[in-house]
Structure 1
Amino acid sequence: MHKTIWYKIHWFFGVIFGLTLLIVGFSGAVLSYEKEILRFLNPNTYNIPIAQDKQILKVQEILQKYQSQNPDTKINSISFSNDKSSSVVLNIASKDPNQKKGQNIYLNPYTVEILPELTGKDFFSFFLRLHRWLAFEGDSREIGKNIVALTTIACIILTIGGLIVYWPRVKNHFFKSFTFSFKHKKRAFLSTMHSAVGMWVIPMFLLVTLTGLYWSYDWYRSAMFTVMQVEQPKREPVAQEQAKNQQKPQMIPYETVQKVVDIFVQNISKEYKNANLRLTPNKEEFYSISYLFADAAHYRETNTMEINVKDSIVVKDVKFEDKKLNEQIMSSILLLHTGEYFGWIGQLLMFIASSLMVLFVITGYMLYYDRLKKRRAKAQKIVKEEI
């Protein structure tokens, strides 16, 4: 009886949310290697030839030269690297007030030449919108967000329900329950493959869904911070963010910015890979630099240094490696979601799991259709016998 109920729950949620599960799973698989693919497609944007007869310009010089050529542009931040073959990235305020993150411009650090725009960025941007909001735009985005959230919850129920239904076989034939045979025909083959392959991805599905809800509901995100005993970062009100985006371009104190960079380089404890400097100071008039050590395991191992330019001192230097495990986890939710937290093997496993969602949806619908066809045939047979 217990198994029968869960079986009905499993096929009900599978039929209702099958299409959105396919969309979210497939789009997640496409996004799995976005950074690697973009770097492969855009070698002349991310990297530049090392000029033997020239020196990399100072941050101050780069900003001055770019701003003089683009006087109406507001620069939000500058990202620079310790690698002489790496391009410099400026984040400039977008003309669209609803675009909070601004636009990234890649520059040659030797000449301040604007490098080619990223090929493939629009492709991945579309799949990100598809993954998070089903590609809905404007006010409809909230609808797409909630459908994706319900689909995520449905995936949790399907994963748990599938395990409960399949548990007798797991308990009696543990190792065999992870296998299927091509000797089986039709429904028997589909059923054993659907169940066996499902067993492989249970840990990945639970991880990707439980972390995915982080972006779906504010209450869920707050609950995660509470459970992990980590203080939740405060977000600026939307109106305040939009007001900042609509501000007119300001003259940047280039000498001050260069001084911040010099203090950063003098006080960093070991070799860094890249650093990002926000050109707007905080309320205390301190400048903030987020940076990544060269030996960082992943790109979310960011550290933050706050600098008091007036007194030429480092006010605060918060390193990722010094944080407690619960704080590291909460600042790495995206990497847990993508599997990158566990290195290349985790990223690969999450890619495979996301791709397999297509298999589960297709085989699930095939099994449902086969069952429905048999029920109809049985009902017609009963009617004929009664006649």
Structure 2
Amino acid sequence: LYWSYGWVRNSVNSVFFELKPSQAQRAMPQRNLTPISDDKFKEIETAEQIFKDNVTLELKSLTINVPENNQSTYTINYETSESQVGKLKLDASAGKIKENKLVSKADSIPEAKKAGRKVLSLHTGEMFGEVGQIIFAISCVIAVLLIITGFLMTIKRSKAI
């Protein structure tokens, strides 16, 4: 039911987890169609240099979020080859780091998604390993046999009447 019906999923998530609004629900920012000045490119280069000076890990991916024209706080999201996710906020005009977080990838996953994965692994039997999968397979076969025997008993009863 959790995956099949959105109202069930939303109800369970709202009861058990604190959810942030999804990307679709957030208002899209207005696009700035003014040309980018040379100073902004210099700021981006400064932000990149500050990042290189402070993060020496081998990177898998890197995203630089460029602020609006009148702001100088850059957010750099990156993923290391050791399955860690980092977020660096810096002020390029002052050359100072405001925030530098590095967490494991598992810690960056929202609680609702973790719960969904656990529910799925429970229902597929993966949570208890191969023994759990065998027990779940046997219980599924028994459930199917109960349905078939119930259907056969109904047919026999209807013939007897």
TM range (shorter): 0.5 to 0.7
2:78·2:87 contact (CA, 8 Å) conserved in 1? yes
For residue 93 of structure 2, what is the aligned residue in structure 1?
Answer: 310
For residues 217 and 373 of structure 1, the distance between their equivalents in structure 2, rounded to whole angstroms, comes to 40
| More helix per residue | 1
1:219, distance to aligned residue in structure 2 (A):
6.3
For residue 223 of structure 1, what is the aligned residue in structure 2?
Answer: 16
Q: Which runs of 5+ in 2 are unaligned?
A: 119-125
Counterparts in 2 of 1:271 and 1:249: CA distance versus 1, 3 Å: same
**Matched residues, number:** 142
1:373, distance to aligned residue in structure 2 (A):
2.2
For residue 152 of structure 1, what is the aligned residue in structure 2?
Answer: none
Instruction: Tell me, yes or no, if structure 1 residue 293 matches structure 2 residue 80.
Output: yes
Q: Which runs of 5+ in 1 are unaligned?
A: 1-20, 25-131, 135-143, 150-215, 226-231, 340-348
| More strand per residue | 2
2:64·2:76 contact (CA, 8 Å) conserved in 1? yes
Opposite residue 262 of structure 1, the aligned amino acid is Q
Counterparts in 2 of 1:336 and 1:250: CA distance versus 1, 3 Å: farther
For residue 145 of structure 1, what is the aligned residue in structure 2?
Answer: 6
1:275, distance to aligned residue in structure 2 (A):
1.5
Cα distance per residue 1:57-90 (max 9 Å; x no partner)? xxxxxxxxxxxxxxxxxxxxxxxxxxxxxxxxxx
Counterparts in 2 of 1:236 and 1:338: CA distance versus 1, 3 Å: closer
SS of aligned partner of 2:27: helix
2:43·2:93 contact (CA, 8 Å) conserved in 1? no
For residue 275 of structure 1, what is the aligned residue in structure 2?
Answer: 62
Cα distance per residue 1:359-381 (max 9 Å; x no partner)? 94x87456413312212312432
Counterparts in 2 of 1:258 and 1:219: CA distance versus 1, 3 Å: farther
SS of aligned partner of 1:306: strand
For residue 148 of structure 2, what is the aligned residue in structure 1?
Answer: 369
For residue 174 of structure 1, what is the aligned residue in structure 2?
Answer: none
Q: TM-score, normalised by structure 2?
A: 0.61
SS of aligned partner of 1:238: coil
Pairing 1:28-43 to 2, within 5 Å after superposition:
none
Opposite residue 240 of structure 1, the aligned amino acid is A
SS of aligned partner of 2:79: strand
Opposite residue 307 of structure 1, the aligned amino acid is L
SS of aligned partner of 1:257: helix
Counterparts in 2 of 1:371 and 1:337: CA distance versus 1, 3 Å: same
1:240, distance to aligned residue in structure 2 (A):
2.0
For residue 47 of structure 2, what is the aligned residue in structure 1?
Answer: 260
For residue 96 of structure 1, what is the aligned residue in structure 2?
Answer: none
For residue 122 of structure 2, what is the aligned residue in structure 1?
Answer: none
Opposite residue 264 of structure 1, the aligned amino acid is F
Q: TM-score, normalised by structure 1?
A: 0.29
1:263, distance to aligned residue in structure 2 (A):
1.2
Cα distance per residue 1:330-359 (max 9 Å; x no partner)? 6365466457xxxxxxxxx47x97xx89x9
For residues 108 and 99 of structure 2, the distance between their equivalents in structure 1, rounded to whole angstroms, comes to 21
SS of aligned partner of 1:240: coil
1:318, distance to aligned residue in structure 2 (A):
1.5
For residues 108 and 32 of structure 2, the distance between their equivalents in structure 1, rounded to whole angstroms, comes to 38
For residues 54 and 101 of structure 2, the distance between their equivalents in structure 1, rounded to whole angstroms, comes to 13
Aligned-pair identity (%): 9
1:247, distance to aligned residue in structure 2 (A):
2.8
For residue 378 of structure 1, what is the aligned residue in structure 2?
Answer: 157
2:89·2:99 contact (CA, 8 Å) conserved in 1? yes
Opposite residue 260 of structure 1, the aligned amino acid is A
SS of aligned partner of 1:311: coil
For residue 247 of structure 1, what is the aligned residue in structure 2?
Answer: 31
For residues 59 and 155 of structure 2, the distance between their equivalents in structure 1, rounded to whole angstroms, comes to 67
Cα distance per residue 1:158-204 (max 9 Å; x no partner)? xxxxxxxxxxxxxxxxxxxxxxxxxxxxxxxxxxxxxxxxxxxxxxx
Deviates more, 1:216-225 or 1:369-378: 216-225
SS of aligned partner of 1:260: helix
For residues 116 and 12 of structure 2, the distance between their equivalents in structure 1, rounded to whole angstroms, comes to 18
Counterparts in 2 of 1:332 and 1:284: CA distance versus 1, 3 Å: farther
For residue 184 of structure 1, what is the aligned residue in structure 2?
Answer: none
Counterparts in 2 of 1:329 and 1:303: CA distance versus 1, 3 Å: closer
SS of aligned partner of 1:289: strand
Greater RCO, 1 or 2 (C-alpha within 8 Å, sep 6+): 1
Pairing 1:152-171 to 2, within 5 Å after superposition:
none
